[in-house]
Amino acid sequence: MHNVKIALGPIHTAGQMALRVHNRHKDKLPAINRAIAELKQTGQIDRILNKYSDFSL
Q: What is the pLDDT of residue 14?
A: 67
pLDDT tier at 5, thresholds 50, 70, 90: confident
Q: Give the model confidence (pLDDT) of 7-50 as tens digits.
A: 766 666 667 777 888 889 999 999 999 999 999 999 998 898 78
Instruction: Please state, in angstroms and rounded to a whole number, the distance separating the CA atoms of residues 43 and 37.
Output: 10
The pTM score is 0.57
Q: What is the pLDDT of residue 25?
A: 92
pLDDT tier at 55, thresholds 50, 70, 90: low
Going 40 to 46 to 52 to 56, the CA torsion angle's sign is: positive
